Structure 1
Amino acid sequence: HEGERIFRFTADRMAPAPGEVEDTLLLARLLRWHGHFCRHLGLIDAAGQSLQRGLAISGAPEHAGALQREYAVLRAEQGMLEGNHGDAQTYLAEAAELLRASGDDWDLAHTLWQWGSFAVNERLGNAAGHALLQESLQIFQRLGDRLSACTLMAEIGFLAALRGDHARGGALAQQALHSADELDNPILIARCAISLAYGHLFAGRFSDAYEVLESNASLFTALGKQVMTARLQIFRANILLHLGAYNEVLALTSAPAGEVEESGNTRSFRLWQVGDALLALGTAADARAALAESVVIHRQTQYDERLYGVLTSLGLAAFALGDTRAGQACLAETVAAVADEHLSFTVARVLLLAVLAALARDEVETAVELYALAASTPHVANSRWYDAVIGEPVRAASARLPADTVRAAQARGASLSLPEGLAFVKRLVVAVQ
């Protein structure tokens, strides 16, 4: 928030002379970044005001051509803000083509990075997004920009782990952390350490993830960054959740974690952990209240990268309370939102919500099949939280079936791929609707 205020203070005092391209370009970029950060902080009105001002000056007739690329990126930011993903994609592609023609490789690499991250995070074709990120990384490496290359490598490693490629994700995260150490850049070391910890989390190595955070705790504290410290505390709570330490999770997340102003992004993440811990402790009504508030904040801030994860938890709470209609609605929305069927972490959560949906309809064999498939991912298999919230109800229901029937259902589920399981759930959702 302090950074946001500095951006606004500076932009309000810049007044380029008429026809002054260089100063106008600088102001347009400043307004774009101000809008970008406001969007991620959930300050939607402030973001919109800055982007509109940037568009007005960069699109003015006297700057036609000279600021064409900046205008395109501003339009892309506006598309992201308004949820118009098609426009955002179109304008990012236009900006990239303008930069390819101009020969500005460094700016091209940054635009490809932004475009690729957007494509991956906004579910608009993840294969294309990963290719854009890889091209950006190659340009940075060719230009000798080790700082940007290291930061992007950590991001690519995180995404690889998220897709279930744990070996590649871990290797890239370790390589990025080594580069950050060589650059002696504390903030970059912290970012790479967090990426490595997430890689362990997705791979179901929860103790290793916790150890990475603990071994870098003094660095995180020394940096003195309140937002980073707050979110790391919540991330630590998320790891403890899967280790079964539910009361410790609540101790870490029941109140804001030290930010001067808790952003919507941080609050939504914190409430998610509160809700999940309460769900495991058997207080489903309180869990549902916390998760419902988290979903509302996610929708308000348009933070779609996490929304559908929180929706699965809200659906689990609804089924735990016997509210089948609400649980089914959460399942339908999350299933419709999954564009990349190879995102093992995301698909597994959808499958687990479908498990409770099947149990609610007394389709126990289907529930056993889907749980066996979800548990084929290490993140689910090694999690005490998933076992408590989904595994125990499945075992209780399957105890009514003959042992041979249960084993056959488990074998059928384990033989499926995640994309096949997701397609099966989509058919079930359509049938129920």
Structure 2
Amino acid sequence: MTESEKTSDGSPTDQGAGSDAISLVQRGNLKTLEKTLRKQWRLGQNIVLCWSADERGLLVIFVPHYFLGNYCADDAEHIGNEAYIRALISGQRRKTREEMFAVSRRLGVAPTFIKLNTALSEERLVLEAVEQLIRRYGLSYVENRAVLLFDIVEFSLHTPFEQASQLNSLSYSLNSAYNKLLARGIEINFARTTTGDGYYIWNRSLGPQADQDLFYFMLLVVADNAVARAASRGNTVPVIRTAYHVGGHYELYQAEGVNPTVFSYIVGDVTIELARMVELAAAEQILVGDFSACPGDGPLLSETLATPAFVAACNRGLAAVAGTQLSSKQVSSIQCWLSESRDEAGETAPRRFRIVDKHGLNHYAYNLQLKVSLEGAELLLGLDDARLAGIADKGEEAGGATEQIEEQAAAKTPAASAEELFDDLANLLQKRKSRIVED
């Protein structure tokens, strides 16, 4: 599945896709709806929050793009508003008439009536198309989704030609990993946005299995990149550092000319965590965030797994990836695990690292190691224990993990002042020292 065929919820990107079962009358309704939404959208000035069917058309709630920021302000007057908005723009946007007017009263915004030629059909394809249109002209929130970040090391130090070659090489590794998984019966409906020197990647599908599939996708991309780098000359194939995390984010379609883009963008807690993790990661390192995720199936579906248990579950499922090809060689097995340390009692446990960002906030991550067996040869990827120890020996000033173990919880510092934010902006032009401490 290519990126242009589906959107964030898996529905068609245009009205023609899968429209054989949609009547001409309903296609006309969809066309009228999109035309009206685009007019009211006003180049991104307004966004849609929800909709409700009416016998003569649709009721929708539009708000100015700045409305939600003011409504969810972090003060006593607006307590609970952000949670309310997140629930409102999560999942299905259709509301009953009673729910629609309850939302209207809560927000203090009157619904907008959109007249259609005929009543909207209750057919599944029609309703899916309406939902997608509402999302395209609005803002969505996803509470839990796995997201990857691939970052090219020292990207700005290469020539423009080398930069283009490296981005193209990484893009090829993404497509190659997709095809390899598809051949094994695993389809990743992935989306991506560029960071300038890498990509955020996420699975448009939602759910525990989608998160695990994206984890397998990450491992194959890392392996494909390593094989390509070994066979390359010069700086045409990038050295990457990788991060995987599960968390919440907003999803939006930015204005592009007079229309919203076909592809979505994401921003939120999960992207912030990934950026902080990768910012201080070493070359070739694979970091996995500290999160809780649902298991893929089984009787414990309602329970959650911490990162170590999630990685162990993914490792057990890697047998499904065996048999794929890397550099014309068959992969006989793939194994992954988190780096471990031994305590005073002789017990081993995954090593959790505390990452202190430029604002003094704490983030937590685990170091992932990977072994790929290829017809008698082995690829060891990620940072092994020896390389982690080497980083630790350099101390915090050189930027690595120390052997200091801390059990204290993450303590957030007050928000940065305007002066501090300007200093941070200036520091973006300089190479900052990293601080990664073993927790």
> What is the TM-score with the length of structure 2 in the denominator?
0.29
> What is the TM-score with the length of structure 1 in the denominator?
0.29
Task: Say which structure, 1 or 2, has more relative contact order (CA 8 Å, 6+ apart).
Answer: 2
Normalized per residue, which structure has more strand?
2
Normalized per residue, which structure has more helix?
1
